[in-house]
Amino acid sequence: MYAPLPTAERRAQSRPRSLPLRGLFGLTEDDRDQVSDLLVAKLAQVAAVWPFTLAIQVVACALLFALAAVDVTRVPGRIGGIAIHAGVLAIGSLLVFATVRLPAFGALAAHKRNQIVTLCAAALAATLTSLLWAITSAPDGPVQFASAIAVGGVLGITALSLHPIRAAALGFSAALVATLAILAGPCIPVAIALVFLGCLVAAIISLARIDHALELDRATASIEGRIAVKMIAEFEDHGAGWFWEADRQGRVTYLSAKVAHDLAPGGSAVGRSLPELFRMDNDAPGTERTLAFHISSRTSFADYSVCAAAAPDSERWWSISGRPVVDDLGRFQGFIGSGSDLTEKRKSEAEITRLALFDGLTGLANRQRMRVSLDKTLAQNTGPYRATSLFLMDLDRFKAVNDTLGHQAGDTLLQQVAQRLQRGVGDAGLVGRLGGDEFKVVLPGIDNRDTLAALARDLIASLSQPYFISGTAVTIGCSIGVAIAPDDGATSETLVRNADLALYAAKGDGRGVHRFFSDDMLAGARTRKLLEDDLRVAVTEGAFHLCYQPVVSTKTVRIVGYEALIRWNHPTRGLVSPADFIPVAEECGLIEAIGEWVLRTACIEAARWPDTIRVAVNVSPIQFANPVLPALVTSALAQSGIAPGRLELEITEGVFLDETRSSEQMFKALKGLGVRLALDDFGTGYSSLGYLRNAPFDKIKIDQSFVKGAAEPGNRNAAIIKAIVTLADTLGMETTAEGVEIQDEIDLLRNLGCTHIQGYVYGRPIRAEEALVQLGLENGTATASGFKVSRAPRTKMLRSARILIGGVRGDVRIRDISTSGAMLDGLRIDGNPDGVELQIELLEDQMIPARVRWARDGKAGIEFHEAFNLERLNQGQASRIRRVG
Nearer to Mg ion, 575 or 804 (CB): 575
Partner in contact with 765, chosen from ligand C2E, Mg ion, none, beta carbon below 5 to 8 Å by kind:
ligand C2E
Q: Least distance to Mg ion from the beta carbon of 746, Å?
A: 18
Q: Least distance to ligand C2E from the beta carbon of 681, Å?
A: 5
| Separation CA 586–CA 581 (nearest Å) | 9
Q: Least distance to Mg ion from the beta carbon of 687, Å?
A: 18
Closest CA to 793 of 702, 725, 856, 705: 705
Q: Least distance to ligand C2E from the beta carbon of 844, Å?
A: 26
Q: Does 680 bind Mg ion (CB under 5 A)?
A: yes
Question: Please, are residues 866 and 858 in contact by the beta-carbon 8 Å criterion?
Answer: no
| Separation CA 872–CA 877 (nearest Å) | 9
Closest CA to 617 of 654, 685, 566: 566
Looking at the DSSP bridge assignments, the partners of residue 758 are: 551
Partner in contact with 115, chosen from Mg ion, ligand C2E, none, beta carbon below 5 to 8 Å by kind:
none
> How many residues form the binding site for Mg ion (CB under 5 A)?
5
Q: Least distance to ligand C2E from the beta carbon of 491, Å?
A: 37
Partner in contact with 488, chosen from Mg ion, ligand C2E, none, beta carbon below 5 to 8 Å by kind:
none
Partner in contact with 648, chosen from Mg ion, ligand C2E, none, beta carbon below 5 to 8 Å by kind:
none
Closest CA to 513 of 879, 58, 113: 879
Looking at the DSSP bridge assignments, the partners of residue 702 are: 682, 737
| Separation CA 700–CA 616 (nearest Å) | 13
Stretch that binds Mg ion, among 448-456, 541-549, 613-621, 862-870 (CB under 5 A): 613-621
Q: Least distance to ligand C2E from the beta carbon of 686, Å?
A: 15
Query: For the CA atoms of 197, 203, 205, 206, what is the dihedral angle to 10 degrees?
Result: 160
Buried b (16+ CB within 10 A) or exposed e, 11-26: ebbeebeeeeeeeeee
State which of residues 402, 618, 623, 790 lies at the interface with Mg ion (CB under 5 A): 618
Question: Please, are residues 707 and 681 in contact by the beta-carbon 8 Å criterion?
Answer: no
State which of residues 681, 741, 745, 816 lies at the interface with Mg ion (CB under 5 A): 681
Nearer to Mg ion, 412 or 618 (CB): 618
Nearer to Mg ion, 148 or 598 (CB): 598
What does the angle CA 803 – CA 808 – CA 811 come to, to the nearest 5 degrees? 35
| Separation CA 669–CA 663 (nearest Å) | 10
Q: Least distance to Mg ion from the beta carbon of 692, Å?
A: 17
Q: Residue 69 contacts by C-beta under 8 Å, 6 or more apart in sequence?
A: 78, 81
What's the half-sphere exposure (Cβ side, CA atoms, 13 Å) at 820? 7
Q: Least distance to Mg ion from the beta carbon of 563, Å?
A: 5
Q: Looking at residue 616, what DSSP letter applies?
A: E
Partner in contact with 760, chosen from Mg ion, ligand C2E, none, beta carbon below 5 to 8 Å by kind:
ligand C2E
Nearer to Mg ion, 685 or 696 (CB): 685
Nearer to Mg ion, 680 or 745 (CB): 680
| Separation CA 641–CA 606 (nearest Å) | 10
Partner in contact with 582, chosen from Mg ion, ligand C2E, none, beta carbon below 5 to 8 Å by kind:
ligand C2E
Partner in contact with 741, chosen from Mg ion, ligand C2E, none, beta carbon below 5 to 8 Å by kind:
ligand C2E
Nearer to ligand C2E, 637 or 655 (CB): 655
Partner in contact with 679, chosen from ligand C2E, Mg ion, none, beta carbon below 5 to 8 Å by kind:
none
Instruction: Kindly tell me the burial class for residue 776, based on how many C-beta atoms sit within 10 Å of its own C-beta (0-12, 13-18, 19 or more).
Output: exposed
Looking at the DSSP bridge assignments, the partners of residue 821 are: 863
Partner in contact with 153, chosen from ligand C2E, Mg ion, none, beta carbon below 5 to 8 Å by kind:
none
Stretch that binds Mg ion, among 182-190, 460-468, 523-531, 645-653 (CB under 5 A): 645-653
Question: Please, are residues 586 and 619 in contact by the beta-carbon 8 Å criterion?
Answer: no
| Separation CA 473–CA 862 (nearest Å) | 45
Nearer to ligand C2E, 397 or 813 (CB): 813
| Separation CA 143–CA 705 (nearest Å) | 150
Nearer to ligand C2E, 618 or 735 (CB): 618
Q: Least distance to ligand C2E from the beta carbon of 582, Å?
A: 5
Closest CA to 425 of 460, 469, 465, 477: 460
Q: Least distance to ligand C2E from the beta carbon of 586, Å?
A: 8
Q: Does 34 bind Mg ion (CB under 5 A)?
A: no
Q: Residue 336 contacts by C-beta under 8 Å, 6 or more apart in sequence?
A: 243, 244, 245, 246, 322, 323, 325
- Between the two ends of the chain, the Cα-to-Cα distance in Å is 83
Buried b (16+ CB within 10 A) or exposed e, 375-386: eebbeebeeeeb
Helices 141-158 and 164-184 pack at an angle, to 10 degrees, of 150
Nearer to ligand C2E, 171 or 826 (CB): 826
Q: Least distance to ligand C2E from the beta carbon of 610, Å?
A: 22
Nearer to Mg ion, 437 or 681 (CB): 681
Question: Please, are residues 181 and 194 in contact by the beta-carbon 8 Å criterion?
Answer: yes
Nearer to ligand C2E, 134 or 862 (CB): 862
Q: Does 498 bind Mg ion (CB under 5 A)?
A: no
Partner in contact with 341, chosen from ligand C2E, Mg ion, none, beta carbon below 5 to 8 Å by kind:
none
Q: Does 623 bind Mg ion (CB under 5 A)?
A: no
Partner in contact with 578, chosen from Mg ion, ligand C2E, none, beta carbon below 5 to 8 Å by kind:
ligand C2E
Nearer to ligand C2E, 447 or 825 (CB): 825
Q: Least distance to ligand C2E from the beta carbon of 775, Å?
A: 18
- 294 by DSSP, 3-state: which? helix
Nearer to Mg ion, 275 or 739 (CB): 739
Closest CA to 584 of 570, 575, 597, 594: 594
Instruction: Kindly tell me the burial class for residue 479, based on how many C-beta atoms sit within 10 Å of its own C-beta (0-12, 13-18, 19 or more).
Output: buried
- The contact set with ligand C2E (CB under 6 A) reads 549, 565-566, 577-579, 582, 595, 598, 618, 620, 650, 680-681, 704, 738-741, 759-760, 765
Put residue 780 in one of left, alpha, beta given phi > 0 → left and psi -120 to 50 → alpha: left
Nearer to ligand C2E, 389 or 705 (CB): 705
Nearer to ligand C2E, 590 or 840 (CB): 590
- Please state, as a whole number, how many other Cβ atoms lie within 10 Å of the Cβ of residue 237: 11
Q: Least distance to ligand C2E from the beta carbon of 549, Å?
A: 5
| Separation CA 543–CA 568 (nearest Å) | 6
Q: Least distance to Mg ion from the beta carbon of 526, Å?
A: 30
Q: Least distance to ligand C2E from the beta carbon of 565, Å?
A: 4
Partner in contact with 858, chosen from ligand C2E, Mg ion, none, beta carbon below 5 to 8 Å by kind:
none
Residues in 732-751 at the binding interface with Mg ion, rule: CB under 5 A: 738
Question: Please, are residues 322 and 304 in contact by the beta-carbon 8 Å criterion?
Answer: no
Q: Least distance to ligand C2E from the beta carbon of 358, Å?
A: 40
Q: Which amino acid is at 111?
A: H
Nearer to ligand C2E, 10 or 799 (CB): 799
Partner in contact with 403, chosen from ligand C2E, Mg ion, none, beta carbon below 5 to 8 Å by kind:
none
Q: Does 650 bind Mg ion (CB under 5 A)?
A: yes
Cα–Cα separations (whole angstroms), residue 446 to 428, 518, 543: 8, 18, 49
Cis, peptide link before residue 466, omega less than 30° from 0: no
Q: Least distance to Mg ion from the beta carbon of 756, Å?
A: 12
Partner in contact with 620, chosen from Mg ion, ligand C2E, none, beta carbon below 5 to 8 Å by kind:
ligand C2E
Partner in contact with 739, chosen from Mg ion, ligand C2E, none, beta carbon below 5 to 8 Å by kind:
ligand C2E
**Residues at the site binding Mg ion, with contacts judged by CB under 5 A:** 618, 650, 680-681, 738
